[in-house]
A and B are shown apart, each in its own frame.
Chain A
Amino acid sequence: QKEVEQNSGPLSVPEGAIASLNCTYSDRGSQSFFWYRQYSGKSPELIMFIYSNGDKEDGRFTAQLNKASQYVSLLIRDSQPSDSATYLCAGGNNNDMRFGAGTRLTVKP
């Protein structure tokens, strides 16, 4: 069974802190990994994708991929209350993408 697992949280961090979201996956053949942000009542919005081992930075967001450990993470620097949402991790290949259950993040002012 191909699975993507996340800690459901909730994760609470103070404003300005670094939020660290983690994800593991079971399928070693997975090549592509994504982080989506989902605000309450809204649909998932793609915020980061990563295909290669290492770090990928985009503004306040850094995605980290370690294929040997089958581990993906998302760091949010200088967290803002507007970052409060559920973050979904996804991984897989063409036509076979698996989503984690999501981690609920709350950034407290």
Chain B
Amino acid sequence: SAVISQKPSRDICQRGTSLTIQCQVDSQVTMMFWYRQQPGQSLTLIATANQGSEATYESGFVIDKFPISRPNLTFSTLTVSNMSPEDSSIYLCSVEVGPQPTQYFGPGTRLLVL
């Protein structure tokens, strides 16, 4: 398994501002993922972040809105840019470890945009 931390754990932001969420893992991992989970909904994959290459975004998500950095094998950031109330959600990072593709999740960042 993996121990994953996220910062901040929660935040309240004003419309039009940006927030950067950090994800730290206790071991080196190749694959990191960023998800969004809106209230009462399941997980929606935003992008896959590989170290040393551009993030791969899912349909409906773009780099200008959700820029991602992956400077090394234990750390990644997701920025939610030019926020609107529709961006209010829980943002989760996950990592894939083990010989089989097993994902483990961080504790999440709860974002409220006013």
Contact = CB atoms under 8 A, between A and B. Distances in A.
Contacts, number: 45
Given A44-B43, A101-B42, A102-B42, A93 B105 contact: no
Which range contains the number of B residues in contact with the other chain? 10 to 19
Given A95-B31, A100-B42, A101-B41, A43 B100 contact: no
A43 B92 contact: yes
A32 B101 contact: yes
A100 B90 CA distance: 17
A46 B106 CA distance: 12
A29 to B, nearest CB: 13
Contacts of B105: 36, 43-45
A69 interface: no
Most B CB contacts (10 A, CB to CB) among A42, A43, A102 go to A43
Contacts of B90: 43
B53 interface: no
A97 B100 CA distance: 12
Contacts of A51: 100
B107 interface: yes
A34 B102 contact: yes
A14 B70 CA distance: 46
Interface in B1-59: 1, 31, 41-43, 48
Interface in A43-95: 43-46, 49, 51, 88, 90, 92-95
Nearest to B31: A95
Interface in A2-26: none
16 contacts: A32-B101, A34-B103, A36-B105, A43-B105, A43-B108, A44-B43, A44-B105, A46-B103, A49-B102, A88-B42, A90-B103, A93-B101, A95-B48, A97-B103, A100-B42, A102-B42
